[in-house]
Amino acid sequence: MRTDEKTLAERLRALALEQDPVRLRAEAEGIMPEDLAEALSRLDGAERLAILESLEPSQAAETLVELPTEAARAIINQLPDTTVAHYLDILPMDDAAELREELDPDRFEALLKVIPDEDAEEIRRLLSYPEDSAGQIMTEDFVEVPPTATMAEVLAIIRDASQEEFETVNYIYVLSEDRHLLGVFSLRRVLRTPAEVLARDIMNPDPVSVPVEVKDEEVARIMSRYGFAAIPILDLRGRMLGIVTADDAQEVLEEAQTEDVLAFGGVVGDAEAYLSLSIWQLVKRRLPWLLILFVAEFFTGSVLRYYTKTSEKGGDTLLAQLMLFVPLLIGAGGNAGSQVTTTITRALALGEVSARDWFLVIRRELSVSGMIGFTLGFLGFVRAAIPDPWGWNQPISLSLVVGLALPCIVVWAATVGSLLPIGAKGVGQDPAVMSAPFISTFVDATGLIIYFEVARRVLGMYGLSF
Protein backbone atom coordinates (compact mmCIF):
# COMPACT_ATOMS: atom_id res chain seq x y z
CA MET A 1 0.00 0.00 0.00
CA ARG A 2 1.27 3.45 -0.88
CA THR A 3 2.51 5.57 2.04
CA ASP A 4 0.78 8.86 2.85
CA GLU A 5 3.75 11.19 2.36
CA LYS A 6 2.15 14.14 4.14
CA THR A 7 1.51 12.14 7.32
CA LEU A 8 4.93 10.47 7.06
CA ALA A 9 6.59 13.88 6.71
CA GLU A 10 4.94 15.07 9.92
CA ARG A 11 6.07 11.97 11.82
CA LEU A 12 9.63 12.30 10.52
CA ARG A 13 9.72 15.98 11.43
CA ALA A 14 8.67 15.19 15.00
CA LEU A 15 11.31 12.46 15.33
CA ALA A 16 14.00 14.74 13.87
CA LEU A 17 13.20 17.33 16.53
CA GLU A 18 13.51 14.65 19.22
CA GLN A 19 16.97 13.76 17.86
CA ASP A 20 16.37 10.05 18.38
CA PRO A 21 18.14 8.15 15.54
CA VAL A 22 16.98 4.74 16.79
CA ARG A 23 13.29 5.62 16.67
CA LEU A 24 13.77 7.41 13.37
CA ARG A 25 15.41 4.36 11.77
CA ALA A 26 12.61 2.18 13.10
CA GLU A 27 10.01 4.55 11.61
CA ALA A 28 11.73 4.49 8.21
CA GLU A 29 12.22 0.74 8.15
CA GLY A 30 10.33 -0.92 5.31
CA ILE A 31 9.32 2.35 3.65
CA MET A 32 10.02 2.55 -0.08
CA PRO A 33 12.80 5.02 -0.97
CA GLU A 34 10.43 6.84 -3.35
CA ASP A 35 7.89 7.43 -0.56
CA LEU A 36 10.57 8.44 1.90
CA ALA A 37 12.02 10.93 -0.60
CA GLU A 38 8.57 12.39 -1.29
CA ALA A 39 8.06 12.91 2.45
CA LEU A 40 11.51 14.51 2.83
CA SER A 41 10.79 16.92 -0.03
CA ARG A 42 8.08 18.44 2.20
CA LEU A 43 10.62 19.27 4.92
CA ASP A 44 13.24 22.00 5.05
CA GLY A 45 16.92 21.41 4.38
CA ALA A 46 17.99 21.08 8.03
CA GLU A 47 15.27 18.51 8.71
CA ARG A 48 16.19 16.47 5.62
CA LEU A 49 19.83 16.47 6.68
CA ALA A 50 19.04 15.37 10.24
CA ILE A 51 16.88 12.49 9.01
CA LEU A 52 19.33 11.26 6.37
CA GLU A 53 22.19 11.36 8.88
CA SER A 54 20.14 9.15 11.21
CA LEU A 55 19.38 6.48 8.59
CA GLU A 56 21.61 3.60 7.65
CA PRO A 57 24.01 4.72 4.87
CA SER A 58 22.46 2.34 2.34
CA GLN A 59 18.89 3.51 3.00
CA ALA A 60 19.98 7.15 3.11
CA ALA A 61 21.72 6.77 -0.25
CA GLU A 62 18.74 5.05 -1.87
CA THR A 63 16.47 7.82 -0.58
CA LEU A 64 18.88 10.49 -1.79
CA VAL A 65 18.71 9.03 -5.32
CA GLU A 66 14.94 9.62 -5.34
CA LEU A 67 15.09 13.19 -4.01
CA PRO A 68 14.77 16.08 -6.48
CA THR A 69 18.20 17.10 -7.75
CA GLU A 70 18.12 20.55 -6.15
CA ALA A 71 17.20 19.11 -2.76
CA ALA A 72 19.93 16.46 -2.92
CA ARG A 73 22.58 18.94 -4.03
CA ALA A 74 21.72 21.31 -1.19
CA ILE A 75 22.75 18.80 1.48
CA ILE A 76 25.18 16.43 -0.24
CA ASN A 77 28.27 18.25 1.06
CA GLN A 78 27.08 17.91 4.65
CA LEU A 79 26.45 14.15 4.57
CA PRO A 80 29.09 11.67 5.80
CA ASP A 81 31.43 10.03 3.29
CA THR A 82 29.92 6.58 3.85
CA THR A 83 26.50 7.80 2.69
CA VAL A 84 27.86 9.84 -0.23
CA ALA A 85 30.08 6.96 -1.42
CA HIS A 86 27.12 4.58 -1.41
CA TYR A 87 25.05 7.23 -3.18
CA LEU A 88 27.74 7.68 -5.84
CA ASP A 89 27.97 3.93 -6.35
CA ILE A 90 24.23 3.33 -6.92
CA LEU A 91 23.59 6.44 -9.02
CA PRO A 92 23.32 5.95 -12.78
CA MET A 93 26.73 6.77 -14.21
CA ASP A 94 25.53 9.89 -16.01
CA ASP A 95 24.00 11.27 -12.78
CA ALA A 96 27.09 10.31 -10.79
CA ALA A 97 29.24 12.34 -13.17
CA GLU A 98 27.12 15.43 -12.51
CA LEU A 99 27.76 15.10 -8.77
CA ARG A 100 31.26 16.50 -9.28
CA GLU A 101 29.72 19.98 -9.66
CA GLU A 102 28.52 19.88 -6.04
CA LEU A 103 31.42 18.24 -4.24
CA ASP A 104 34.87 19.54 -3.46
CA PRO A 105 37.21 18.16 -6.19
CA ASP A 106 39.49 16.46 -3.66
CA ARG A 107 36.54 14.84 -1.88
CA PHE A 108 35.05 13.70 -5.19
CA GLU A 109 38.32 12.06 -6.22
CA ALA A 110 38.60 10.42 -2.79
CA LEU A 111 35.09 9.00 -3.15
CA LEU A 112 35.91 7.61 -6.60
CA LYS A 113 38.63 5.53 -4.95
CA VAL A 114 36.06 3.98 -2.60
CA ILE A 115 33.61 2.76 -5.25
CA PRO A 116 34.49 -0.09 -7.68
CA ASP A 117 37.32 0.83 -10.07
CA GLU A 118 35.23 0.02 -13.15
CA ASP A 119 32.50 2.49 -12.08
CA ALA A 120 35.06 5.15 -11.20
CA GLU A 121 36.72 4.89 -14.61
CA GLU A 122 33.36 5.15 -16.38
CA ILE A 123 32.51 8.31 -14.43
CA ARG A 124 35.84 9.84 -15.38
CA ARG A 125 35.23 9.04 -19.06
CA LEU A 126 31.76 10.61 -18.99
CA LEU A 127 33.21 13.75 -17.41
CA SER A 128 35.62 14.11 -20.32
CA TYR A 129 32.75 14.87 -22.73
CA PRO A 130 31.29 18.38 -23.26
CA GLU A 131 28.62 19.59 -20.87
CA ASP A 132 25.01 18.90 -21.94
CA SER A 133 26.23 16.50 -24.63
CA ALA A 134 25.12 12.97 -25.43
CA GLY A 135 28.36 11.74 -23.86
CA GLN A 136 27.39 13.00 -20.42
CA ILE A 137 23.99 11.29 -20.33
CA MET A 138 24.92 7.99 -21.96
CA THR A 139 25.67 4.71 -20.24
CA GLU A 140 28.30 2.18 -21.30
CA ASP A 141 26.25 -0.75 -20.00
CA PHE A 142 24.66 -2.22 -23.13
CA VAL A 143 24.43 -5.66 -24.74
CA GLU A 144 27.05 -6.13 -27.45
CA VAL A 145 27.76 -9.20 -29.56
CA PRO A 146 30.01 -10.05 -32.52
CA PRO A 147 28.39 -10.60 -35.92
CA THR A 148 29.01 -14.34 -35.68
CA ALA A 149 27.11 -14.82 -32.41
CA THR A 150 24.12 -17.16 -32.59
CA MET A 151 20.75 -16.40 -31.06
CA ALA A 152 21.43 -19.06 -28.44
CA GLU A 153 24.65 -17.28 -27.46
CA VAL A 154 22.88 -13.90 -27.33
CA LEU A 155 20.25 -15.28 -24.95
CA ALA A 156 22.95 -16.87 -22.83
CA ILE A 157 24.76 -13.52 -22.50
CA ILE A 158 21.56 -11.84 -21.32
CA ARG A 159 20.53 -14.71 -19.04
CA ASP A 160 23.91 -15.02 -17.32
CA ALA A 161 24.38 -11.27 -16.76
CA SER A 162 23.84 -9.74 -13.33
CA GLN A 163 20.89 -7.44 -12.80
CA GLU A 164 23.11 -4.35 -12.83
CA GLU A 165 25.29 -5.29 -15.82
CA PHE A 166 23.04 -3.84 -18.55
CA GLU A 167 21.00 -0.66 -18.48
CA THR A 168 18.52 -2.21 -20.93
CA VAL A 169 18.30 -5.42 -22.97
CA ASN A 170 15.70 -4.19 -25.44
CA TYR A 171 18.35 -3.79 -28.14
CA ILE A 172 21.41 -5.89 -28.94
CA TYR A 173 24.24 -4.11 -30.76
CA VAL A 174 26.51 -5.89 -33.22
CA LEU A 175 30.09 -4.61 -33.06
CA SER A 176 33.21 -5.39 -35.04
CA GLU A 177 36.50 -6.26 -33.34
CA ASP A 178 37.51 -2.59 -33.38
CA ARG A 179 34.10 -1.64 -31.86
CA HIS A 180 32.54 -0.14 -34.98
CA LEU A 181 28.75 -0.40 -34.95
CA LEU A 182 27.68 -2.89 -37.63
CA GLY A 183 24.01 -3.22 -36.81
CA VAL A 184 21.32 -3.66 -34.19
CA PHE A 185 18.38 -5.98 -33.51
CA SER A 186 15.73 -6.21 -30.80
CA LEU A 187 15.29 -8.78 -28.05
CA ARG A 188 11.87 -9.54 -29.50
CA ARG A 189 13.56 -10.50 -32.78
CA VAL A 190 15.92 -12.81 -30.87
CA LEU A 191 13.04 -14.64 -29.19
CA ARG A 192 11.33 -15.23 -32.53
CA THR A 193 14.42 -16.44 -34.40
CA PRO A 194 15.83 -20.01 -34.45
CA ALA A 195 18.71 -20.54 -32.03
CA GLU A 196 21.33 -21.27 -34.73
CA VAL A 197 20.78 -18.03 -36.74
CA LEU A 198 23.70 -15.56 -36.63
CA ALA A 199 23.47 -11.96 -35.47
CA ARG A 200 24.67 -10.61 -38.82
CA ASP A 201 21.75 -12.33 -40.57
CA ILE A 202 18.98 -10.57 -38.63
CA MET A 203 20.54 -7.23 -37.71
CA ASN A 204 19.52 -3.88 -39.14
CA PRO A 205 22.74 -2.84 -40.92
CA ASP A 206 21.86 0.86 -40.98
CA PRO A 207 20.86 1.85 -37.43
CA VAL A 208 20.16 5.44 -36.38
CA SER A 209 23.04 6.67 -34.23
CA VAL A 210 24.27 9.95 -32.76
CA PRO A 211 27.76 11.47 -32.40
CA VAL A 212 28.94 11.74 -28.81
CA GLU A 213 29.20 15.57 -28.81
CA VAL A 214 25.63 16.25 -30.01
CA LYS A 215 23.50 18.20 -27.51
CA ASP A 216 21.50 16.00 -25.17
CA GLU A 217 18.22 17.76 -26.05
CA GLU A 218 18.73 17.00 -29.74
CA VAL A 219 19.40 13.34 -28.90
CA ALA A 220 16.20 13.21 -26.86
CA ARG A 221 14.16 14.70 -29.71
CA ILE A 222 15.57 12.16 -32.20
CA MET A 223 14.58 9.34 -29.85
CA SER A 224 11.11 10.81 -29.42
CA ARG A 225 10.68 11.15 -33.18
CA TYR A 226 11.51 7.50 -33.87
CA GLY A 227 10.09 6.04 -30.65
CA PHE A 228 13.38 4.39 -29.65
CA ALA A 229 13.91 2.83 -26.22
CA ALA A 230 17.64 3.52 -26.64
CA ILE A 231 19.98 5.02 -29.22
CA PRO A 232 23.68 4.21 -29.84
CA ILE A 233 26.31 6.91 -29.28
CA LEU A 234 29.40 6.88 -31.52
CA ASP A 235 32.75 8.64 -31.45
CA LEU A 236 34.07 10.56 -34.46
CA ARG A 237 35.49 7.33 -35.95
CA GLY A 238 32.17 5.49 -35.77
CA ARG A 239 33.12 3.34 -32.77
CA MET A 240 30.34 2.69 -30.30
CA LEU A 241 30.79 4.28 -26.88
CA GLY A 242 27.44 3.75 -25.19
CA ILE A 243 23.70 4.29 -25.39
CA VAL A 244 21.22 6.92 -24.24
CA THR A 245 18.08 5.30 -22.85
CA ALA A 246 14.49 6.49 -23.07
CA ASP A 247 14.23 7.43 -19.39
CA ASP A 248 17.23 9.77 -19.65
CA ALA A 249 15.87 11.22 -22.90
CA GLN A 250 12.47 11.78 -21.32
CA GLU A 251 14.09 13.51 -18.36
CA VAL A 252 16.00 15.84 -20.69
CA LEU A 253 12.84 16.72 -22.65
CA GLU A 254 10.74 17.23 -19.51
CA GLU A 255 13.39 19.49 -18.03
CA ALA A 256 13.69 21.51 -21.25
CA GLN A 257 9.91 21.84 -21.63
CA THR A 258 9.45 22.78 -17.99
CA GLU A 259 12.18 25.41 -18.21
CA ASP A 260 10.46 26.83 -21.30
CA VAL A 261 7.11 26.98 -19.48
CA LEU A 262 8.66 28.60 -16.43
CA ALA A 263 10.60 31.05 -18.58
CA PHE A 264 7.36 31.96 -20.37
CA GLY A 265 5.95 32.79 -16.92
CA GLY A 266 9.03 34.85 -16.00
CA VAL A 267 10.70 32.25 -13.74
CA VAL A 268 14.40 31.49 -14.19
CA GLY A 269 16.41 28.44 -13.14
CA ASP A 270 16.43 24.69 -13.66
CA ALA A 271 13.31 22.56 -13.46
CA GLU A 272 13.10 21.33 -9.87
CA ALA A 273 10.30 20.05 -7.66
CA TYR A 274 8.38 22.94 -6.09
CA LEU A 275 8.54 21.66 -2.51
CA SER A 276 12.25 20.88 -2.77
CA LEU A 277 13.10 24.57 -3.26
CA SER A 278 13.69 26.81 -0.28
CA ILE A 279 12.00 30.20 0.13
CA TRP A 280 15.20 31.97 -0.89
CA GLN A 281 15.60 29.77 -3.97
CA LEU A 282 12.06 30.64 -5.08
CA VAL A 283 12.80 34.33 -4.58
CA LYS A 284 15.98 34.10 -6.68
CA ARG A 285 14.05 32.38 -9.48
CA ARG A 286 11.31 35.02 -9.67
CA LEU A 287 12.87 38.33 -8.67
CA PRO A 288 15.18 38.90 -11.70
CA TRP A 289 12.39 39.01 -14.30
CA LEU A 290 10.11 40.95 -11.98
CA LEU A 291 12.83 43.58 -11.61
CA ILE A 292 13.31 43.75 -15.38
CA LEU A 293 9.57 44.13 -15.97
CA PHE A 294 9.36 46.57 -13.09
CA VAL A 295 11.98 48.81 -14.70
CA ALA A 296 10.13 48.53 -18.01
CA GLU A 297 6.97 49.80 -16.33
CA PHE A 298 8.87 52.92 -15.26
CA PHE A 299 8.91 53.99 -18.90
CA THR A 300 5.12 53.66 -19.09
CA GLY A 301 4.83 55.94 -16.10
CA SER A 302 7.25 58.39 -17.68
CA VAL A 303 5.07 58.58 -20.80
CA LEU A 304 2.00 59.32 -18.67
CA ARG A 305 3.88 61.99 -16.73
CA TYR A 306 4.94 63.67 -19.94
CA TYR A 307 1.43 63.92 -21.33
CA THR A 308 -0.21 64.92 -18.06
CA LYS A 309 2.26 67.79 -17.84
CA THR A 310 1.15 69.00 -21.26
CA SER A 311 -2.53 69.10 -20.24
CA GLU A 312 -3.93 72.39 -18.96
CA LYS A 313 -5.56 71.19 -15.74
CA GLY A 314 -5.81 67.44 -15.37
CA GLY A 315 -2.16 66.76 -14.54
CA ASP A 316 -2.20 68.92 -11.40
CA THR A 317 -4.85 67.02 -9.41
CA LEU A 318 -3.90 64.50 -6.73
CA LEU A 319 -5.94 61.80 -8.46
CA ALA A 320 -4.03 62.40 -11.69
CA GLN A 321 -0.76 62.02 -9.83
CA LEU A 322 -1.97 58.75 -8.33
CA MET A 323 -2.98 57.49 -11.77
CA LEU A 324 0.60 57.87 -12.96
CA PHE A 325 1.57 54.87 -10.83
CA VAL A 326 -1.27 52.57 -11.86
CA PRO A 327 0.66 50.81 -14.69
CA LEU A 328 3.63 50.27 -12.38
CA LEU A 329 1.63 48.73 -9.54
CA ILE A 330 -0.86 46.73 -11.56
CA GLY A 331 1.87 45.47 -13.89
CA ALA A 332 3.94 44.27 -10.92
CA GLY A 333 0.92 42.51 -9.42
CA GLY A 334 -0.05 40.84 -12.68
CA ASN A 335 3.49 39.65 -13.35
CA ALA A 336 3.89 38.29 -9.81
CA GLY A 337 0.56 36.49 -10.04
CA SER A 338 1.45 34.96 -13.40
CA GLN A 339 4.74 33.64 -12.02
CA VAL A 340 3.00 31.95 -9.11
CA THR A 341 0.21 30.54 -11.28
CA THR A 342 2.73 29.09 -13.76
CA THR A 343 4.78 27.52 -10.96
CA ILE A 344 1.84 26.00 -9.08
CA THR A 345 0.10 24.78 -12.25
CA ARG A 346 3.28 22.96 -13.24
CA ALA A 347 3.66 21.48 -9.74
CA LEU A 348 0.06 20.23 -9.85
CA ALA A 349 0.53 18.72 -13.31
CA LEU A 350 3.64 16.80 -12.19
CA GLY A 351 2.06 15.65 -8.92
CA GLU A 352 4.53 17.61 -6.78
CA VAL A 353 1.65 19.17 -4.83
CA SER A 354 -2.04 18.33 -4.50
CA ALA A 355 -5.17 20.26 -3.55
CA ARG A 356 -4.78 19.25 0.09
CA ASP A 357 -1.38 21.01 0.21
CA TRP A 358 -3.03 24.41 -0.15
CA PHE A 359 -1.99 25.63 3.30
CA LEU A 360 1.65 24.62 2.77
CA VAL A 361 1.65 26.37 -0.62
CA ILE A 362 0.06 29.53 0.79
CA ARG A 363 2.54 29.66 3.66
CA ARG A 364 5.48 29.41 1.25
CA GLU A 365 4.04 31.91 -1.21
CA LEU A 366 3.32 34.47 1.50
CA SER A 367 6.98 34.37 2.52
CA VAL A 368 8.24 34.55 -1.07
CA SER A 369 5.85 37.30 -2.16
CA GLY A 370 6.52 39.27 1.01
CA MET A 371 10.26 39.37 0.28
CA ILE A 372 9.69 40.23 -3.38
CA GLY A 373 6.96 42.77 -2.59
CA PHE A 374 9.03 44.72 -0.09
CA THR A 375 11.98 44.74 -2.49
CA LEU A 376 9.82 46.20 -5.25
CA GLY A 377 8.14 48.52 -2.76
CA PHE A 378 11.47 49.96 -1.69
CA LEU A 379 12.52 50.49 -5.30
CA GLY A 380 9.16 52.06 -6.13
CA PHE A 381 9.44 54.43 -3.17
CA VAL A 382 12.96 55.49 -4.17
CA ARG A 383 11.97 55.97 -7.81
CA ALA A 384 8.98 58.10 -6.87
CA ALA A 385 10.81 60.22 -4.28
CA ILE A 386 14.14 61.10 -5.89
CA PRO A 387 14.34 64.16 -8.17
CA ASP A 388 14.60 64.21 -11.96
CA PRO A 389 16.17 62.88 -14.12
CA TRP A 390 16.43 59.57 -12.19
CA GLY A 391 13.17 59.84 -10.30
CA TRP A 392 9.71 61.37 -10.46
CA ASN A 393 10.23 63.98 -7.72
CA GLN A 394 7.00 63.15 -5.89
CA PRO A 395 6.21 64.23 -2.32
CA ILE A 396 6.88 61.76 0.49
CA SER A 397 3.14 61.13 0.90
CA LEU A 398 2.74 59.83 -2.64
CA SER A 399 6.04 57.95 -2.50
CA LEU A 400 4.87 56.16 0.65
CA VAL A 401 1.64 55.20 -1.08
CA VAL A 402 3.64 53.53 -3.85
CA GLY A 403 6.09 51.89 -1.44
CA LEU A 404 3.30 50.40 0.72
CA ALA A 405 0.84 49.51 -2.03
CA LEU A 406 3.37 47.48 -4.02
CA PRO A 407 3.99 44.76 -1.39
CA CYS A 408 0.26 44.58 -0.63
CA ILE A 409 -0.61 44.04 -4.30
CA VAL A 410 2.23 41.53 -4.88
CA VAL A 411 1.25 39.47 -1.82
CA TRP A 412 -2.40 39.54 -2.88
CA ALA A 413 -1.52 38.52 -6.44
CA ALA A 414 0.61 35.63 -5.15
CA THR A 415 -2.22 34.48 -2.90
CA VAL A 416 -4.72 34.49 -5.76
CA GLY A 417 -2.18 33.01 -8.15
CA SER A 418 -1.55 30.03 -5.86
CA LEU A 419 -5.12 29.38 -4.70
CA LEU A 420 -6.69 29.66 -8.15
CA PRO A 421 -4.99 26.62 -9.77
CA ILE A 422 -5.34 24.59 -6.56
CA GLY A 423 -9.04 25.46 -6.40
CA ALA A 424 -9.48 24.56 -10.06
CA LYS A 425 -7.80 21.20 -9.48
CA GLY A 426 -10.01 20.60 -6.46
CA VAL A 427 -13.21 20.98 -8.50
CA GLY A 428 -11.92 18.84 -11.36
CA GLN A 429 -11.06 21.64 -13.80
CA ASP A 430 -7.84 22.15 -15.72
CA PRO A 431 -5.78 24.66 -13.67
CA ALA A 432 -4.03 25.99 -16.78
CA VAL A 433 -7.29 26.75 -18.59
CA MET A 434 -8.97 28.41 -15.61
CA SER A 435 -5.99 30.27 -14.16
CA ALA A 436 -4.32 31.90 -17.16
CA PRO A 437 -7.17 34.09 -18.44
CA PHE A 438 -8.57 34.89 -15.00
CA ILE A 439 -5.49 35.88 -13.02
CA SER A 440 -4.59 39.09 -14.86
CA THR A 441 -8.15 40.42 -14.99
CA PHE A 442 -8.88 39.67 -11.34
CA VAL A 443 -5.56 41.02 -10.04
CA ASP A 444 -5.94 44.20 -12.14
CA ALA A 445 -9.36 44.96 -10.66
CA THR A 446 -8.59 44.04 -7.06
CA GLY A 447 -5.14 45.61 -7.27
CA LEU A 448 -6.72 48.97 -8.06
CA ILE A 449 -8.93 48.67 -4.99
CA ILE A 450 -5.90 47.89 -2.81
CA TYR A 451 -3.93 50.78 -4.29
CA PHE A 452 -6.62 53.40 -3.75
CA GLU A 453 -7.45 52.12 -0.26
CA VAL A 454 -3.77 52.36 0.72
CA ALA A 455 -3.65 55.84 -0.86
CA ARG A 456 -6.77 56.97 1.01
CA ARG A 457 -5.32 55.97 4.37
CA VAL A 458 -1.75 57.18 3.82
CA LEU A 459 -2.77 60.50 2.30
CA GLY A 460 -5.33 60.94 5.09
CA MET A 461 -2.44 60.91 7.56
CA TYR A 462 -1.12 63.97 5.73
CA GLY A 463 -4.51 65.68 5.65
CA LEU A 464 -4.93 65.04 1.90
CA SER A 465 -7.78 63.50 -0.07
CA PHE A 466 -8.58 62.78 -3.69
pLDDT 10s digits, 10-44: 888 887 787 778 888 888 888 888 888 888 887 87
Task: Assess whether 124 and 166 both reside in one domain.
Answer: no
Task: Assess whether 148 and 92 both reside in one domain.
Answer: no
Beta bridge partners of 145: 174
Distance of CA 444 to the CA centre of its chain: 29
pLDDT at 1 over 50: no
Task: Assess whether 457 and 335 both reside in one domain.
Answer: yes
pLDDT at 2 over 70: no
Confidence of residue 307 (pLDDT cuts 50, 70, 90): low
**Cα–Cα distance, 95 to 98 (Å, whole number):** 5
Q: In this structure, how many other beta carbons lie within 10 angstroms of the beta carbon of residue 46?
A: 11
| CATH number where 347 lies | 1.10.357.20
Over residues 374-400, the pLDDT tens digits come to: 999 999 898 888 887 777 778 899 899
pLDDT at 66 over 70: yes
pLDDT at 308 over 70: no
Task: Assess whether 298 and 230 both reside in one domain.
Answer: no
Which segment of 58-62, 65-69, 150-154, 270-274 scores lowest on mean pLDDT?
Answer: 270-274
pLDDT at 288 over 70: yes
> How many domains does the structure of the chain reveal?
3
Task: Assess whether 292 and 394 both reside in one domain.
Answer: yes
Across the range 248-262, mean pLDDT stands at 77
pLDDT at 78 over 50: yes
Q: CB of 64 within 8 A of CB of 83? A: yes
315 three-class SS:
helix
CA 312, 315, 318: angle at the middle one, nearest 5?
Answer: 135
pLDDT for the residue 368: 93
Which segment of 207-221, 252-266, 395-409 scores lowest on mean pLDDT?
Answer: 252-266
pLDDT for the residue 46: 79
Mean pLDDT of the chain: 83
Task: Assess whether 96 and 179 both reside in one domain.
Answer: no
Backbone angles phi, psi at 24, to 5 degrees: -65, -40
Task: Assess whether 180 and 292 both reside in one domain.
Answer: no
pLDDT for the residue 192: 94
Q: Regarding beta strands 240-245 and 230-234, do their DSSP bridges make them parallel or antiparallel, or are they unpaired?
A: antiparallel
Task: Assess whether 106 and 152 both reside in one domain.
Answer: no
% pLDDT > 90, the chain: 28
**Cα–Cα distance, 192 to 195 (Å, whole number):** 9
Domain presence at residue 403: yes
pLDDT at 215 over 70: yes
**Cα–Cα distance, 203 to 195 (Å, whole number):** 15
pLDDT at 311 over 50: no
Across the range 202-224, mean pLDDT stands at 93
Domain boundary among 245, 275, 293: 245
pLDDT for the residue 52: 87
pLDDT for the residue 172: 96
pLDDT for the residue 39: 83
Q: What is the largest CA-CA distance in the chain?
A: 99
pLDDT at 3 over 60: no
pLDDT at 315 over 70: no
Over residues 116-171, the pLDDT tens digits come to: 888 888 888 888 888 889 988 898 889 999 999 999 999 999 999 888 788 889 99
185 three-class SS:
strand
pLDDT at 193 over 90: yes
104 three-class SS:
coil
Across the range 432-437, mean pLDDT stands at 62
Across the range 266-278, mean pLDDT stands at 68
pLDDT for the residue 434: 58
**Cα–Cα distance, 372 to 380 (Å, whole number):** 12
pLDDT at 310 over 60: no
Over residues 362-374, the pLDDT tens digits come to: 999 999 999 999 9
Full-model pTM:
0.63
Range of the domain at 45: 5-128
Indicate the DSSP class of residue 387.
P
pLDDT at 313 over 60: no
Task: Assess whether 426 and 296 both reside in one domain.
Answer: yes
% pLDDT > 70, the chain: 90
Domain presence at residue 190: yes
pLDDT for the residue 263: 65
Domain presence at residue 137: no
Burial of 221 (0-12, 13-18, 19+ CB in 10 A): middle
Across the range 455-462, mean pLDDT stands at 88
Task: Assess whether 225 and 298 both reside in one domain.
Answer: no
Q: CB of 340 within 8 A of CB of 409? A: no
pLDDT at 61 over 90: no
| CATH number where 115 lies | 1.25.60.10
